[in-house]
């Protein structure tokens, strides 16, 4: 069997090597229009920041290795410019010598990736405006900074790549401003979770302009970035990171069916509308794991796994099924880490999926062991307890918590499963009740009716004349800030001072993170009060403010 693969990075290289492991007989030709194959897209921002210093480290696999070890015919600088489905033939342009030739196939795998969006704004082609997708893009930015001695940068877009670039440009010594059309960074997080990152970005000297669009650019002494509201800022360079669009032009010209955002439509075995052509990676639409709807998830994990599956399925094995993508993603932001999996609240609301939520801010490991820090966690779950999504932001231990939650979600787990999970514990790593267990406990408490909760976004609407709002923290904590209209009854005095609270009024209690409020709620409930505890406590409330 002769298999041609278009695109030699995440999806394409995975498909090629998997195919070879399954078949020593297959003839495999991998076409890559650029100079490099299998490079570390995800590491590119860290080269610009200087964390990765060695150019070679950006290249995960060389064409020579794929030839020697896998007998794959790797052709770099070779762009597939046309697919003739009737003849089962592709046309290839060799950018090294300008020649054009045809190559036949039995099966074809497309992994052409995505293109950074570059809207047709005035001045968009001015010198000093960059996007970051490839190794050459990275070198261009690096050299421009060095040659022009750039001192300032505007990053347009506060998604994953934008925030990573902002951090790395700052590390490189530049003065950095992020301009973002939305009111928050990292849209996969809900605003109150993203707010933790906003603070950390600002503390690290990044200027954030939210709710601001870019209307154009003008090259003068440096670059003028024209913003909505007739404002403008100047910078030595601009990095556009406003998202990517699936690179489906080849598939479209070949008449293959397309899906959301112009992506390539595939079935559960990654076959396109032509059974001899498979497609993977950023170029395709995937099924959202929970809703089954077609969506775009341009991430390396799915692209690699899809490549591996396509490498098997072209041989007719059909072992793996592309059963949906939950969008698990993680990001380093200076000293913090932010991660999410599944659906966020905005998406659940948009799809009208009923959900409940809980917030906690536990320590990442036992507080008596040095070096612990707080992590903020949000869990979204269905009324029957099924996990729908999770978001975690903190300094340490974020990655393992989100991966446990992502695994639980993938296996259809519930909040009751999280209560029961037996996770590893020793003081340097966790607590005997791991934060993931605590997330399960708090969620299950809500569902079992052990406690009623209210949320940070309901506080301001509470009619203070009709409810008792009680801050259960110590007076010194209250002095540092509390919620307007709250009376202070520290938890340890509650049993004695309970009579200060009229029984006929609902009581809304809160503390710093939700635990003492929960204890207060349990005391009051058992004394006949109608009581609710603020999920995530004052910390979630004030962070979201």
Q: Verify binding: residue 540, ligand FAD, rule CB under 6 A.
A: no
x/- mask, ligand FAD, residues 142-171, rule CB under 6 A, reads: -------------------x----------
Q: What DSSP assignment string belongs to 252-263?
A: HHTT--B-GGGP
* Alpha-carbon gap, residue 399 to 392, rounded angstroms: 8
Stretch touching ligand FAD by CB under 6 A, among 26-34, 149-157, 175-183, 316-324 = 26-34
Stretch touching ligand FAD by CB under 6 A, among 18-26, 107-115, 443-451, 506-514 = 107-115
> Could you tell me how far CA 500 lies from the centroid of its own chain?
47
Q: Check: CB of residue 375 under 8 Å from CB of residue 392.
A: yes
Q: Verify binding: residue 250, ligand FAD, rule CB under 6 A.
A: yes
Between 329 and 525, CB nearer to ligand FAD: 329
Q: What part of residues 52-81 is at the interface with ligand FAD (CB under 6 A)?
A: 79-80
* Alpha-carbon gap, residue 445 to 436, rounded angstroms: 14
> Could you tell me how far CA 21 lies from the centroid of its own chain?
31
> In the sheet that 214-219 helps form, which strands lie side by side, from edge to edge?
214-219, 223-227, 231-235
Least CB distance to ligand FAD at residue 323 (A): 18
Query: Scanning the structure block, which residue is given the tokens 């001015």?
Result: 126
Q: CA geometry: angle at 363 spanning 412 and 186, to 5°?
A: 60
Least CB distance to ligand FAD at residue 252 (A): 12
Between 119 and 211, CB nearer to ligand FAD: 119
Q: Verify binding: residue 299, ligand FAD, rule CB under 6 A.
A: yes
Q: Which of 247, 312, 364, 471 is the binder for ligand FAD (CB under 6 A)? A: 247
Count, residues near ligand FAD per rule CB under 6 A: 33
- Assigned token pair, 391: 């978001």
Q: Would residue 234 show up in a list of annotated catalytic residues for this protein?
A: no
Q: Verify binding: residue 29, ligand FAD, rule CB under 6 A.
A: no
Q: Check: CB of residue 387 under 8 Å from CB of residue 405.
A: yes
Least CB distance to ligand FAD at residue 327 (A): 10
- Assigned token pair, 71: 């007998």
Q: CA geometry: angle at 276 spanning 271 and 281, to 5°?
A: 40
Between 28 and 486, CB nearer to ligand FAD: 28
Between 247 and 471, CB nearer to ligand FAD: 247
Distances (CA, A) of 178 to 50, 168, 240, 242, 277: 20, 13, 10, 11, 41
Q: Verify binding: residue 282, ligand FAD, rule CB under 6 A.
A: yes
Q: What is the C-alpha end-to-end distance of the chain, expressed in Å?
A: 61
Least CB distance to ligand FAD at residue 56 (A): 18
Between 92 and 453, CB nearer to ligand FAD: 92
Stretch touching ligand FAD by CB under 6 A, among 27-35, 252-260, 349-357, 524-532 = 27-35
- C-alpha torsion angle, residues 504, 506, 512, 513 (rounded to 10): 140
Q: What DSSP assignment string belongs to 40-72?
A: -GGGHHHHHHTSS--GGGGBSS-HHHHHHHH--
Q: Which of 1, 245, 300, 467 is the binder for ligand FAD (CB under 6 A)? A: 300
- Residues catalogued as catalytic: 42
Residues binding ligand FAD (CB under 6 A) = 6-12, 31-34, 41-42, 44-45, 79-80, 111-113, 132-133, 161, 247, 250, 281-283, 298-301, 303
């Amino acid at each position: 069997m002769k298999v041609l693969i278009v695109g030699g990075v995440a999806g394409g290289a995975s498909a090629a090597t998997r195919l070879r492991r399954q078949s020593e007989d297959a003839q495999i030709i991998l076409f890559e229009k650029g100079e490099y194959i299998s490079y570390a897209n995800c590491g590119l921002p860290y080269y610009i920041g200087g964390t990765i210093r060695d150019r070679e480290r950006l290249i995960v696999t060389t064409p020579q290795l794929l030839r020697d070890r896998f007998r794959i015919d790797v052709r770099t600088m070779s762009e597939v410019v046309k697919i003739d489905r009737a003849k089962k033939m592709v046309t290839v342009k060799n950018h090294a010598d300008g020649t054009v030739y045809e190559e036949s196939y039995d099966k074809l795998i497309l992994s052409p990736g995505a293109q950074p969006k570059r809207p047709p704004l005035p001045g968009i082609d001015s010198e000093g405006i960059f996007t970051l997708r490839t190794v050459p893009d990275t070198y261009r930015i690096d050299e421009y900074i060095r040659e022009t001695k750039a001192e300032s940068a505007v990053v347009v877009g506060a998604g994953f790549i934008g925030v990573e670039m902002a951090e790395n440009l700052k590390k490189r010594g530049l003065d950095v401003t992020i301009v973002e059309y939305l009111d928050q960074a990292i849209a996969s997080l809900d605003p109150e979770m993203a707010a933790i990152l906003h603070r950390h970005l600002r503390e690290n000297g990044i200027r954030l302009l939210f709710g601001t669009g870019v209307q154009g650019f003008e090259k003068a002494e440096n670059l003028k970035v024209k913003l909505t509201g007739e404002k403008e800022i100047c910078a030595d360079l601009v990095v556009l990171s406003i998202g990517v669009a699936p690179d489906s032009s080849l598939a479209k010209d070949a008449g293959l069916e397309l899906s959301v955002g112009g992506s390539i439509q595939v079935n559960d075995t990654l076959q396109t509308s032509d059974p001899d052509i498979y497609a993977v990676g950023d170029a395709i639409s995937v099924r959202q794991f929970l809703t089954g709807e077609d969506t775009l998830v341009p991430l390396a994990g799915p692209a690699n796994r899809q490549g591996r599956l396509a490498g098997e399925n072209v041989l007719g094995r059909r072992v793996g099924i592309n059963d949906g993508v939950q969008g698990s993603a993680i990001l380093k932001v200076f000293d913090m880490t932010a991660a999410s999996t599944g659906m966020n609240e905005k998406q659940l609301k948009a799809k009208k999926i009923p959900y409940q939520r809980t917030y906690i801010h536990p320590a990442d490991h036992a507080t008596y062991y040095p070096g612990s820090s707080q992590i903020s966690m949000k869990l979204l779950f269905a009324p029957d307890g099924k996990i729908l999504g999770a978001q975690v932001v903190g300094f340490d231990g974020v990655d393992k918590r989100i991966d446990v939650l992502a695994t639980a979600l993938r296996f259809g787990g519930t909040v009751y499963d999280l209560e029961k999970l037996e996770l590893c514990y020793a003081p340097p790593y966790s607590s005997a009740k791991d934060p993931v267990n605590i997330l399960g406990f708090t969620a299950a408490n809500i569902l079992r009716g052990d406690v009623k909760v209210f949320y940070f976004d309901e506080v301001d609407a509470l009619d203070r004349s009709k409810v008792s709002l009680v801050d259960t923290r110590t007076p010194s904590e209250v002095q540092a800030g509390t919620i307007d209209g709250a009376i202070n009854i520290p938890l340890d005095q509650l049993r004695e001072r309970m009579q200060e609270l009229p029984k006929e009024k609902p009581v809304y209690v809160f503390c710093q993170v939700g635990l003492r409020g929960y204890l207060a709620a349990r005391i009051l409930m058992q004394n006949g009060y109608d009581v609710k505890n603020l999920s995530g406590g004052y910390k979630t409330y004030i962070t979201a403010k």
